[in-house]
Amino acid sequence: MDFLSQVADTLWNPWLLGLFLVTGLVYSIGSGWFQIFGFRIWWRATAGSLFRRREKGGGGLSPLQALATALASTMGTGSIAGVAAALTLGGPGAVFWMWVSALLGMMTSCGEKLLAVKYQRAGPDGSLRGGPMYYIRDGLGSAALAACFCLACIPATLAGGNLVQSSSIASSLEAAWGLPRLSVGLATALLTGLVMLGGLRRIAAVSSTLVPAMALLYLGSGTAVVLANWGKVPRALGLILSCALSPAAAAGGGAGWTVSAALRYGVARGVFTNEAGLGTSAMAHGAAQTDHPARQGMWGVFEVFLSTVAVCTVTALAILVSGVWDITNPGALTGAPLTAAAFGSVLGRFGEGAAALSLLLFAFSSILGWSYYGEQCITFLFSGQRGGKRSPVFSGKCLVFLYRAVFLGCAVLGAVWSPGTIWQLVDLCNALMALPNLLALLFLAPQAFSVLRQWQKSNSEKIIGKNLLTARRNVPIIGEETALKHINKRSDTL
């Protein structure tokens, strides 16, 4: 555990932290801070289009299905247990840096999804495929770096996408109802295997059902806790800001927090909750059938907004205003139990049950989403997707079957393994996966900006065209009214 922690800290501080923030800053400045000044555009293209009827693409998912599949993986235990752990390890200031990483990550996520669709291709079965490995290989021209991303992503799916989620499910059910952790792990593996057999379509169908339900349940419960303690919200926000700038002074010097720790855990947990910069959720969006790459990029902006700005903020505020978290003894209660205690402080047993059920749904949906990412990386490496010949020994189908067996085994292992060790492994895997993706995003940024500007220009022309058409249709009507008035005036004169 100490070794993993040292390696992870070496990668994250300060190099990877800086690379995440620099990439988000490049995309934010290059797009003219589109996530802020283009709010109406991306909100209308995403949340504003939820109730419009869309034609289903024959070879891919609808944009909404792709979003649900991506959110199924992003809105996992990081939104509940991860935020609580960040508060314990980095102090309330970690929440501020989580917000900063989310603000910049909106455009990083937009670039990922945009490029994933721009360089998507049809697989042997006719389904659409896309993601970092494709835009690294075809856009950046580096098959070796694309392979490095896949090799780092596969263990990341087993650690952060499975072990952490399974551990959270088991600990939550054990604390709530005393269920044996091994039995919970076996049940989780069984249900996951049944969904995985149906492929992406079944994963998307289950995710489309789970994601709205769990988001409404969790956000509704958390908002109720915040509203019940509304008078304490200004103090909580002040604590977040003061701890971000001077943690030791804000905490009275007793907790041992530093700006470095707040930045480290705030950005790391923020990345884990929204995956902006990791490239994983881009694989789900890369399977979408859409009319323009930039339109899918809008869903990338919305994804970070919902998973981090909305969900994680509700989690942090609920914990800080509920009074269950002690700033002088932050380690007394942490992780999912801390969030459950915050919900229970206002909603009683219902609040604790809502937090436990939300964690269960969040974690299970994450397992489903990450299983798809791992299979895509296996397929890319060993099914001729890299442009070379297929391996006669290691066929893609055989290795996908083997991966599924290992993945389901990890679901059982995670239920009985130490969560502390798993979190260190997650940070290490995310770091190794993010490096090639962030480098590719920086080099491909000019292409992303060009596609985004082209889409904005075409949208503007469509709006102008509609206005001109409306104006032309109104001209004859205006003319007739004016003529009638003129005729009436002449009649009165005569």
Per-residue confidence (pLDDT) for residue 480, from 0 to 100: 45
Does position 493 have pLDDT exceeding 50, yes or no?
no
Q: Which residues contact 184 (CB under 8 A, 6 or more apart)?
A: 169, 170, 173, 174, 415
Q: Which tens digits make up the pLDDT trace of 327-378?
A: 665 556 667 778 888 898 888 888 888 888 887 888 888 898 899 999 999 9
Q: Indicate the pLDDT class of residue 392, thresholds 50, 70 and 90.
A: very low
Predicted pLDDT at 37: 94
Distance CA(399)–CA(401), nearest Å, equals 5
pLDDT of residue 248: 54
Q: What is the pLDDT of residue 441?
A: 96
> What is 2-443's CATH topology?
Amino acid/polyamine transporter I (1.20.1740)
Q: What is the largest CA-CA distance in the chain?
A: 103
Residues 246-294: tens digit of each pLDDT: 655 444 444 556 677 777 777 777 776 778 888 888 998 888 888 899 9
- The identity of residue 211, as a single letter, is V
- Among 71, 132, 64, 130, which residue's Cα sits nearest to residue 435? 132
Reported confidence tier of residue 487, pLDDT bands at 50, 70, 90: very low
pLDDT of residue 182: 92
CB 54 within 8 A of CB 62: yes
294, 451 contact by CB (below 8 A): yes
**Smallest Cα–Cα separation from 414: which of 214, 160, 84?**
160
Query: Domain boundaries in the chain?
Result: 2-443
Mean pLDDT, range 437-441, rounded to an integer: 94
The reply to whether the predicted model has a pTM over 0.95 is no
